[in-house]
């Protein structure tokens, strides 16, 4: 859902919190670290009620408590100050996959991560200009297949396969990030728009297979276009996003010409590698296009479950499915005075966390001591 009421201020300089404590910052940092108020209270040496009062804005913590909060939450003490761009978690809505299995705390943690990713894009744009967002306006009630065709036309895509979906989306201003499972458990992927910047975040559960990854990205783009004003979970919305993804990646007209006349898993496997979709998806497409029956499709799914080799993932055919926008932006920003230390200072977090948000692996050598082996 589009968030039209965030708090936006100019980025300040460095320093401690000077009498103005932002309660929402404490909530953001605590939720992102998966800490309950009681957990944080025990770590900091105050009561859980005190943490609640800090987050509610009833009381502000003393400077020594702020220092302990910062240490416990791995941020700079000035992180809690007012005056920086802030997307409040209670005003930001997102479309989540696997929502039924995701706890509220998981969803809140995912939102806190998305908010920090958005702040990173804001900090980057102090030094460079990111690609402008280029998504068409979709009228309410538009069918998913129509929206998919409109997006293809808007982006000037040919009738054939979408070869590099993530790269294409990033070129059009959509920020894509992959976050580790330990950070946003039970959430496969989700999308959100914060101050007109669409953000899609996915996990290794989706990226481990390029076909699932591409379908998830297309699914989330469908949400961004079709459900911009609906942040509530809806089975109907999820179905529409799936229909959009299928229509966008495998348009009906193209599939009518390409699909075999009868179920042929070998042929579907070859076709799937050309179009960047799984044989399962093409079996479903055959049902939708009247080429096979539901009962035949179920038997095909069973055979695929037996013969499918998850290691036979032709990811090398799709190098454009690894997000690179944030990394490239950070590299260019570094050439113009906005390197990692400057970004860390702007966000009031550690350089290590900035690198983590950018998706950079820790390149430091590992110290091994006698007895480690």
Distances (CA, A) of 151 to 55, 72, 132, 190, 236: 42, 45, 16, 20, 21
Structural domains of the chain in order of their starting residue, each with its CATH number: 2-91 (1.10.260.40), 144-320 (no CATH), 329-357 (no CATH)
- pLDDT digits 0-9 by tens, 122-180: 999 999 999 999 999 999 899 999 999 999 999 999 889 998 999 999 999 999 998 87
- pLDDT digits 0-9 by tens, 52-92: 999 999 999 999 999 999 999 999 999 999 888 888 777 67
Using DSSP's 3-state secondary structure scheme, residue 75 falls into strand
Handedness of CA 105, 111, 115, 117 (dihedral sign): positive
Using DSSP's 3-state secondary structure scheme, residue 64 falls into helix
- pLDDT band, very low/low/confident/very high, at 6 (cuts 50, 70, 90): very low
DSSP character at residue 184? S
Between residues 237 and 182, which one has the greater pLDDT?
237
Burial degree of 145 (CB within 10 A; 0-12, 13-18, 19+): middle
DSSP character at residue 349? B
Given a contact cutoff of 8 angstroms between Cβ atoms, the answer to whether 233 and 99 are in contact is: yes
Strands (E), 140-228: 175-178, 189-194, 197-202
Does pLDDT of 1 surpass 50? no
Cβ-proximal residues to 160 (8 Å cutoff; 6+ apart), any chain: 254
């Amino acid at each position: 859902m589009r968030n039209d009421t965030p708090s936006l201020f100019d980025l300040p300089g460095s320093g401690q919190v000077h009498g103005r404590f932002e309660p929402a910052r404490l909530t953001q940092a605590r939720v992102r670290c998966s800490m309950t108020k009681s957990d944080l209270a025990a770590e900091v040496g105050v009561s859980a009620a005190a943490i609640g009062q800090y987050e509610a804005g009833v009381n502000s913590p003393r400077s020594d408590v702020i220092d302990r909060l910062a240490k416990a939450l791995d941020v700079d003490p000035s992180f809690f100050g007012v005056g920086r761009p802030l997307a409040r978690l209670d005003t930001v809505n997102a479309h989540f996959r696997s929502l039924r299995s995701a706890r509220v705390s998981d969803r809140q943690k995912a939102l806190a991560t998305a908010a920090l990713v958005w702040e990173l894009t804001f900090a980057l744009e102090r030094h460079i200009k990111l690609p402008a967002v280029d998504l068409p306006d979709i009228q309410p009630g538009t069918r998913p297949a129509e929206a998919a065709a409109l997006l293809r036309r808007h982006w000037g895509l040919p009738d054939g396969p979408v070869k590099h979906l993530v790269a294409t989306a990033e070129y059009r201003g959509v920020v894509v990030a992959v976050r580790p499972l330990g950070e946003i458990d039970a959430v496969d992927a989700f999308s959100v728009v914060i101050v007109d910047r669409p953000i899609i975040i996915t996990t290794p559960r989706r990226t481990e297979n390029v076909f699932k990854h591409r379908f998830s990205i297309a699914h989330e783009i469908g949400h961004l276009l079709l459900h911009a004003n609906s942040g509530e979970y809806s089975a109907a919305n999820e179905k529409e996003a799936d229909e959009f993804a299928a229509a966008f990646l495998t348009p009906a007209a193209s599939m009518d010409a390409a699909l075999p006349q009868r179920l042929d898993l070998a042929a579907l496997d070859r076709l799937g590698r050309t179009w960047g979709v799984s044989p399962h998806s093409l079996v479903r497409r055959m049902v939708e296009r009247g080429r096979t029956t539901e009962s035949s499709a179920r038997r095909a799914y069973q055979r695929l479950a037996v013969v499918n080799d998850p290691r036979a993932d032709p990811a090398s055919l799709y190098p454009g499915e690894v997000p690179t926008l944030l990394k490239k932006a950070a590299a260019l920003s570094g050439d113009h005075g906005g390197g990692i230390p400057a970004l860390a200072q702007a966000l009031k977090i550690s350089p290590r966390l900035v690198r983590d948000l950018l998706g950079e692996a820790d390149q430091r050598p590992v110290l091994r001591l006698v007895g480690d082996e």
